[in-house]
Structure 1
Amino acid sequence: MRTAYSVESVRAAERELMARLPEGALMARAAAGLAAVCAELLARGRGRVYGSRVVLLVGPGDNGGDALYAGARLARRGAGVTAVPMDPARVHPGGLAALRAAGGRVGASVPERADLVVDGLLGIGGRGGLRPAAAALVERIPAGATVVAVDLPSGVDADTGEVAGPAVTADVTVTFGAYKPGLLTDPGASRVGAVRLVDIGLEPPEHAVAMEALQHADVARLLPVPSASSDKYRRGVVGVVAGSEQYPGAAVLAVAGALRGGAGAVRYVGPAAEAVLARFPEVLVGRGRVQSWVVGPGLGAGRAEEVGRALADADVPVLLDADGLRGLDGAVVRGRRAATLLTPHAGEAAALLGVAREEVEAGRLGAVRELARRYGAAVLLKGSTTLVAPAGGGAVRVNPTGTSWLATAGSGDVLSGLAGALLAGGLPGVDAGSAAAYLHGLAGRFAAGGAPVVAQEVAAALPEAWRSVRAAGQ
């Protein structure tokens, strides 16, 4: 499992470690790791470090010091290194001395040509967009240069991933000691490029984890697997309340996700029974005992009583999606005994929170946490980075799988059915949402293969995704 920590937790771990190390040792470790990654990139691109052109964009803090010490290491290997300070009066003195001693130089402006540019302007404590002096340097980054960010791209909020103004877009981000939430969630995540973690000896406490990204083995441990004594009822029956005369396909796709997601049986309730049975004759039609409800995909307006009826079944987990989220009563959701999982996209989340969609998209991590707190439910916020927040607070999970080809009609309906099946299999809301998002993203990759895909193909690829994950856990 990949874990990320808040700036406060990272700073506390740094202070504890520095108290045990000689002065400057921690920065030396960070600079060595940064230089190693830069050298690797130069060797890959040019075949060698010697003779390469490296530009350091240097801020006034330790982030700039890391860049300067790394630049000194590259200069000693024959690279032509030029440091361009954001503020010439405020430059890390030790780093600057090391760079000059190694043959590097200080420039007043960004050179027109460079093989590699190191962004050492702001550290993890930076807030808001880049100030004018820093933004002016970033605007002059030479076209075609590989951009390496130190710890995270300047202008990206380390704790939230928010980008409040101008910011660096990196090809590679070298982060030290621990991942930060801003590296893993959009809009910041879209600016980090490939992330390389350098071990500098930090040991943040486990209870301080702010964000988690599951891996194959983690998901494999969550997935319910039938035993020799299992029957369709013990495996879990999913009730699907979805579809309408206008959107019968939503019902078909939600049912497909549930069946491919491990449900022992699916009960369908709604006006699209004929379409559902034509595709899946094994489906049961009509109400009966279920182990979870999936309510909302393609439901249409005017069917609020269907939502209320599912929520009133207080001992059965409920997933609410799409039209099932309209006019949701927070008091009712908070009063339920069984798990509730909400699966909005940004627009639906904005409606639930009473804010503009742009506000959700700019602060996805804050939005998913607030939804979970306000409704007392697990929340899966769909989007370019899918986030899953637990009902009771704690680490938010970010989904590492997926493909942009999943932005297609009906994809979310498949996800809802899949998550509903995992709820029926006994998983808590946050685990059901996390595992479903992971499998759904993996299935999207398998189905797409780099080309357009439709939702029914994503559903058909779920068994392949399931097998891939299970193989990692064996």
Structure 2
Amino acid sequence: MKPVITPAESARLDRASTVPAAALMEAAGFAVAIAARLGYGDSVAVLTGKGNNGGDGWVAAFHLARRGAKVIVHEFARPSPGSLADSMRSRALDAGIRVLAINALWEPSLIIDAVFGVGFTGQLPAAIVPWTESGVPVLAVDLPSGVEGGTGGVDGAAFAAQRTVTFHALKPAHLVGPGADYCGLVTVVDIGLTGERPLWLFAEMSDAPIRGRDRHAHKWSVGSVAVVGGSAGMSGAPVLAARAAMAAGAGAVTVVGPGAAMGAIPPELLSQTVGGGDRFAGGDEDAVLELATRFDVLVLGPGAGSSSDATLADIAARWPGPIVVDADGLRAIANDSRIAERRAPTVLTPHAGELETLRSYPGESAPDIARRYRAVLVEKGNPSFVHWEETWVVTSGGPELATIGTGDVLAGIIGAFLAVGQPPAVAARSAVYWHGVAGAKLRSARTLTASLLVDAVARTLAAVPTGATE
């Protein structure tokens, strides 16, 4: 777990720290100098602004020059007289470091961008823009200039860094928005700050536990999942979810679907049909609930179609156990107050379009939606977020998961992890993490399909080191 903090929180930590400000700046600038020595050559242009970010740049310039690098500082703005950044500037000048105007371009082996940092908003000044177009590798201090720290927004030119050195904690722009693509490899350096109030928590492998099986386990003791869905032309969706639940460790999985829409079922899955139509109809909820009674968890919605909303909503409201609502199920339960009244865990898994359906008013935030439904909410995307009492950000997957059926796979994994008794937020976070890892392993494949992803999930979870499981 790593904290992700806002620019405002970063500034608060600086002000509240009991570590002398000079020691913080020295540690930050020295870390930048160390990073600059990692294979970038010995000629460095350091671009500085007037604030603490610029002060970090002056410290880096000082240490790089002491170690024999050719260093030229290009000063966009001078620090305020008497400020800490100004004292670092004076030390560097006393050491003989050369200073040129910001518009005196040359071709160093590395540019250190220490102009603005995480507090930047708006557009880069015109004098800096040519440096962003130089083609020279860039090492950014805290955040590439031109990127808004709180949103990852980019309005016009920005430095595209090969590497970013940030301090104490990640910031939102390192992970979201177009700005995340400008950061390159992000290194977080501990400079002695403490007491952060995170906006998000960044999920690592240790935050994605997997429960193993004891030697007395049998198919009904290791979790069972019923996947309810399917309709004409979409019979594959519930099968993918069911296969994923098996791949993620469930001992027994069934597909419950309309009689005329049930496609071919793999032999490892159970299947049960309701009625003779090609989609669920009014009155089918009693039969579905009866067929699912023996199973621990319900995954509701994959491929169910748009004409079954009332039936799906009734199933969700009446099901007494944990439930994962996905795909067409999300539209069916949108703004249904009965969902918040459920006593068992609820997990909702919307992508961006489905999230709009769940909103009760324009702009309602995902955490607020989760609170209103009293549900864990998985906000699928790149990155994905898991909202409950805390918000976790998960970056293990990538654009390779933007393929039809991969959401069904994720719903099945969540169902399996819930079925073995993981707390709902942990089950969702772990599922999103390992779903992403499995997808990343297929990144080099010419084509990623949901079926290939299911197989990759099984291989990935089987290979998880024992120490990473519960």
| TM-score, length-scaled by structure 2 | 0.86
Match of 1:116 among 99, 110, 116: 110
What amino acid is the match of 2:413? L
Map 1:239-250; keep pairs closer than 5 Å. Answer: 239-250=226-237
- Alpha carbons of 1:153 and 1:78: their partners in 2 closer, same or farther (altered >3 Å)? same
Structure 2 CA distance for aligned equivalents of residues 249 and 343 of structure 1: 18
RMSD of aligned alpha carbons: 2.7
C-alpha contact (below 8 Å) 1:150/1:175 kept by paired residues: yes
2:163 & 2:336 partners in 1: Cα distance? 42
What is the aligned counterpart of 2:321 among 316, 324, 342?
Answer: 316
Distance in 1 (CA, whole Å) between partners of 2:403 and 2:205 is: 25
Instruction: Show the counterpart of 1:218.
Output: 207
Deviation, structure 1 residue 445? 2.4
In the other structure, the counterpart of 2:15 is 15
1:83 aligned counterpart, secondary structure:
strand
Q: What amino acid is the match of 2:359?
A: L
Q: Choose 180-189 or 419-428, whichever is displaced more.
A: 180-189
Residues 34-61 of structure 1: CA deviation (Å, up to 9, x unaligned) = 110011142xxx4xx2xx1x22232221
Structure 1 match to 2:284? none
Q: In structure 2, do the counterparts of structure 1 residues 382 and 136 end up closer, same or farther at CA, with 3 Å as the change threshold? A: farther
Amino acid at match of 2:169: A
User: Are positions 1:381 and 2:376 aligned together?
Assistant: no
State the shift of 1:419 in Å: 1.0
Specify the alignment match of 1:306 in structure 2: 311
Matched, 1:236 2:234: no
Cα separation, partners in 2 of 1:464 and 1:3, compared to 1, 3 Å: farther
Structure 2 counterpart of 1:467: 462
In structure 2, how many angstroms separate the alpha carbons of the residues matched to 1:184 and 1:175? 13
Q: CA deviation at 1:247?
A: 1.3
CA displacement, residues 439-474 of structure 1 (integer Å, 9 cap, x when unaligned): 111111233445322110110111221123343427
1:282-361 equivalences in 2 (<5 Å): 282-286=269-273, 287-289=291-293, 290-313=295-318, 315-326=320-331, 328-353=334-359
**1:166-185 equivalent positions in 2, closer than 5 A:** 166-185=157-176
Contact residue 156 and residue 167 of structure 1 kept, 8 A: yes
Aligned length: 446
* Structure 1 residue ranges without an equivalent (≥5): 360-365
Relative distance call for 1:369 and 1:274 in structure 2 (3 A) is closer
- 5 Å-filtered alignment, 1:14-163, equals 14-17=14-17, 19-21=18-20, 24-42=22-40, 46=41, 49=42, 52=43, 54-88=44-78, 92-102=85-95, 103-109=97-103, 111-126=105-120, 128-130=121-123, 132-133=124-125, 136-163=127-154
Q: 2:241 aligns with which of 240, 251, 254?
A: 254
CA distance in 2, matches of 1:378, 1:110: 54
Counterpart position of 2:450: 455
| Counterpart residue identity of residue 143, structure 2 | L
CA distance in 2 between counterparts of 1:429 and 1:157 reads: 33
The one-letter amino acid of 1:212's match is L
Note the alpha carbon deviations across 1:325-367, whole angstroms, 9 max, x for none.
11512522222211111111112223333788xx8xxxxxx94
Closer, same or farther in 2 for the Cα pair 1:264/1:136, shift >3 Å? farther
Is 1:192 paired with 2:183? yes
CA distance in 2: counterparts of 1:187 and 1:164, whole angstroms: 10
Deviation of the 1:164 alpha carbon: 5.9
Partner of 1:410: 405
Separation in 2, partners of 1:273, 1:210: 48
Cα gap change, 1:296 to 1:274, in 2 (>3 Å) = closer
Give yes or no for contact 2:58–2:92 (8 Å, CA) kept in 1.
yes
- Work out the percentage of aligned pairs sharing the same amino acid: 34
Tell me, yes or no, if the aligned pair for 1:55 and 1:117 is still in contact at 8 Å.
yes
**What one-letter code is carried by the residue in structure 2 that aligns with 1:312?**
A
Partner of 2:283: none
- Identify if the C-alpha distance between structure 1 residues 174 and 448 changes in structure 2 by more than 3 Å, giving closer, same or farther: closer
User: SS at 2:37's partner residue?
Assistant: helix
**2:281 aligned residue:** none
- Cα separation, 1, equivalents of 2:259 and 2:450: 18
> 1:110 and 1:176, CA in 2 relative to 1: closer, same or farther beyond 3 A?
farther
Aligned to 2:5: 5
More displaced 10-residue stretch of structure 1: 33-42 or 371-380: 371-380
